[in-house]
Chain A
């Protein structure tokens, strides 16, 4: 009798414990190469580490800047820099207290020569510790969007880094911070097996308000799209990023899984060899003529590309940044209209009534369906007499080829790291040089743009800044420096019951996940 009673109690106790385990498993094609937040500036690394480390500021669900390790910030008088007030009572995962010294240490580490994020600190001259919870970041010139540009600058515990010999960033030697992490983020790194499995667990001592209900999060890289889709369908994985465009509808039709669609920040565009005398085939270079570049814009049917190749998942782009970005020019929000007849007429007027032959360079493993998009463009251009030969190759060879000038027209995707319209001007449009215009392969050069850029960078007044960005956007459009095509989609597959936020920079933030 007593036995039976105990058994019943035990059974009841067993049933009372929740049956659902809140272990969350997710997969992506790329493993973050390192756990060191200053060693590699790439989306997989920064996106992953945003769960473990934190910056002074962070981006919210809509990419807006919000307080993180700093509770407030204000510009110093006369544009000398910014003052940040640090959050008190924050501890790192190992229990060490967060102070201004850690910020100072992380600045020195991130701005060092070996760091891959040092460009964020290019305008910075010094970081001054005012008191334990106040710092001043001094800049060469006024920096209106400085807080935006350091949203991914993550703070590392100075004591931990020094004790483990990880005070510096190393690319050609082993470093403790490559496999281990000690941040202040909502999740702490429990185990790290590169390319295999990385396990995170909620950090009990996190300062913020917990919105998720995960007890354990396991990340596995799955490189092959088809395998990742199979793992999602079979229930072994709760979320995959990305879902191949062509599989999205099929997954949606399946039981228990769905596709979340969003828009990324990456604009896909066509670039031209502006400063080449001749094409690759030796003929004079027609792309020097703005009419010819305009004809290309009128000949490419972006809507058709989005309908067929992107299956309706992307949005047309009019500028080098998506509409959601800061500094987007609403005044210049029109794309060239599809008009093959006008394109033919423009070509005839430019002296090419029969068109001409050239090569279109393209990646085949970098952007979503990049090669298929290029093939479609070749067909569309052929209709107005522009006979392109497609040269598609892997991205590892692509940038060296472009840098060497071996192209006539090329496909490029650009994601503005600061989420601001100034970013593409700095890297894609400014005259090519040591640190500016480093991705301006075509050699476009316009003194007005070169004059506008430093003014935009240091203009504190919002309206004056926007006016200059509008002017720059108009120049880029009028000169047909690039032909923006579309903004890439975000396609994530989840099993039913998982709610999360797709941030446009393709960062997956675990603290916005809930599972039932």
Chain B
């Protein structure tokens, strides 16, 4: 058991190192940061000096090693675009992304499970069929388009909700939260729906098919034969057994919600790390790109590790 955990942690660290190496090898193809940092009247000498100062003349593995060395001491470098410490910028922007991810994750999970159960129980009903058809939109329409459509409907035509931004935020220590103001909560609605719609339909379809599968099992038939109420059968027996795969998928999807947030954040000008990353790519802001990619991979690797460890806890067969 202990050696299994140790092995998994070692593998995760290795994955992180490889991700970083690949990232640094690719930065050269994004462009030359010096070109975007200097104005049009720069001289060749200016370009060379800045390149030398930033260490851009070093081979990428040397740049990577320097990055790791400094990162190990808690220094993520200075953003080329903003001229401020990257760690500070990310700390400012992360709450926006995490709050959005949390709300859209909750939206996807709750609505997905409820609609999944509904469409499974009333599998031939009109409403269930309509929901299933509509859910195709959630799967097939790109996030970008959904966001723009929502903005045009609810912000421009109806003027109910804001079209961009986070509304008013409250500072709690180092954390800026939009949960405590009305404008902050209202601003969450459209981005959360946009970001969570795909996951919601995914969970809904998963719950539905799992539920239908479970409903065919012998123990459900026996439960029926025992004369249990529909309610008890559906929620106590069927749903419980449906949720195991749902939790696995949700856990894994949490990482991708944060990663997918890039597009949603761009559409809604949501000041999170995804928007920061897009800006960084356009500007070839290598320190920010490196920090973001490492952050996301730490998150993905961490979630995977947690899921793996949960399996061990849940499934006794893995422990032997």
Which A residues are within 8 Å of any B CB, using their own CB? 33-34, 36, 39-42, 113, 116-120, 170-175, 178-179, 193-196, 220-224, 226-227, 230-231, 233-236, 365, 394-400, 415, 417, 427, 433-435, 438-439
Q: Does B138 belong to the interface (CB within 8 Å)? A: no
Which of B14-22, B34-42, B244-252 lies at the interface with chain A? B34-42
Q: Chain A residues near B46: list those with CB within 8 A.
A: 118
15 other A-B residue contacts (CB within 8 Å) besides A117-B39, A178-B84, A220-B164: A39-B83, A40-B39, A116-B39, A119-B39, A120-B41, A171-B50, A171-B83, A193-B92, A223-B266, A226-B267, A234-B162, A396-B32, A397-B31, A433-B44, A438-B44
Nearest neighbor of A194 in chain B, beta-carbon distance: B82
Write the nearest CB–CB distance from A263 to chain B, whole angstroms: 20
Q: Does B155 belong to the interface (CB within 8 Å)? A: yes
Write the nearest CB–CB distance from B235 to chain A, whole angstroms: 42
Q: By CB atoms of chain B within 10 A, which of A175, A224, A231 has the most?
A: A224
Write the nearest CB–CB distance from B262 to chain A, whole angstroms: 12
Q: Is the CB of A396 within 8 A of B83?
A: no
Q: List 28 A-B contacts (CB under 8 A).
A: A34-B83, A40-B39, A41-B39, A117-B39, A117-B41, A119-B42, A173-B83, A195-B275, A221-B269, A223-B279, A224-B269, A226-B151, A227-B148, A230-B152, A230-B164, A231-B164, A234-B155, A234-B156, A234-B163, A235-B159, A236-B162, A365-B282, A396-B35, A397-B31, A400-B35, A434-B44, A434-B45, A439-B40
Contact of A172 among B44, B45, B53 (CB under 8 A): B53
Q: Is the CB of A227 within 8 A of B43?
A: no
Q: Chain A residues near B83: list those with CB within 8 A.
A: 33-34, 36, 39, 170-171, 173-175, 178
Q: Is the CB of A41 within 8 A of B41?
A: yes
Write the nearest CB–CB distance from A179 to chain B, whole angstroms: 7
Write the nearest CB–CB distance from A446 to chain B, whole angstroms: 20
Nearest neighbor of A45 in chain B, beta-carbon distance: B39
Write the nearest CB–CB distance from B184 to chain A, whole angstroms: 13
Q: Does B276 belong to the interface (CB within 8 Å)? A: yes
Q: Chain B residues near A171: list those with CB within 8 A.
A: 37, 50, 53, 83
Write the nearest CB–CB distance from A187 to chain B, whole angstroms: 21
Cα–Cα, bound, A417→B39 (Å): 10
Q: Chain A residues near B39: list those with CB within 8 A.
A: 40-42, 116-117, 119
Interface size on B, residues (CB 8 A): 52
Q: Is the CB of B82 within 8 A of A33?
A: yes
Contact of A435 among B44, B53, B81, B151 (CB under 8 A): B44
Write the nearest CB–CB distance from B163 to chain A, whole angstroms: 4
Cα–Cα, bound, A172→B85 (Å): 9
Q: Which 8 A-B pairs have the closest CB atoms?
A: A396-B31, A41-B39, A119-B41, A435-B43, A399-B35, A397-B31, A400-B32, A230-B163
Give 1 or 0 for each of B83-97: 1 = CB within 8 Å of chain A CB.
Answer: 111000100100000
Nearest neighbor of B287 in chain A, beta-carbon distance: A172
Contact of A396 among B30, B50, B164 (CB under 8 A): B30
Q: Chain B residues near A119: list those with CB within 8 A.
A: 39, 41-43
Which B residues are within 8 Å of any A CB, using their own CB? 29-33, 35-46, 49-50, 53-54, 78, 81-85, 89, 92, 148, 151-152, 155-156, 159, 162-165, 266-269, 271, 275-276, 278-279, 281-284
Given A33-B82, A438-B43, residue A222 in contact with residue B279 (CB < 8 A): no
Cα–Cα, bound, A231→B154 (Å): 12
Q: Chain B residues near A227: list those with CB within 8 A.
A: 148, 151, 163-164, 267-269
Q: Is the CB of B163 within 8 A of A223?
A: no
Q: Chain B residues near A223: list those with CB within 8 A.
A: 266, 269, 275, 278-279
Given A171-B37, A223-B278, residue A33 in contact with residue B43 (CB < 8 A): no
Write the nearest CB–CB distance from A510 to chain B, whole angstroms: 21
Write the nearest CB–CB distance from B91 to chain A, whole angstroms: 13
Q: Chain A residues near B155: list those with CB within 8 A.
A: 230-231, 234, 236
Contact of B283 among A234, A396, A417 (CB under 8 A): A396
Cα–Cα, bound, A398→B32 (Å): 9
Q: Chain A residues near B82: list those with CB within 8 A.
A: 33-34, 178, 194-195
Cα–Cα, bound, A236→B275 (Å): 20
Q: Chain A residues near B271: list those with CB within 8 A.
A: 195-196
Write the nearest CB–CB distance from A191 to chain B, whole angstroms: 13
Q: Chain A residues near B42: list those with CB within 8 A.
A: 116, 119, 438
Q: Is the CB of A222 within 8 A of B269?
A: yes
Q: Chain B residues near A42: list those with CB within 8 A.
A: 39
Q: Chain B residues near A233: list those with CB within 8 A.
A: 156
Nearest neighbor of A41 in chain B, beta-carbon distance: B39
Q: Is the CB of B53 within 8 A of A194?
A: no
Contact of A236 among B37, B164, B279, B282 (CB under 8 A): B164
Q: Is the CB of A174 within 8 A of B85?
A: yes
Q: Is the CB of A220 within 8 A of B269?
A: yes
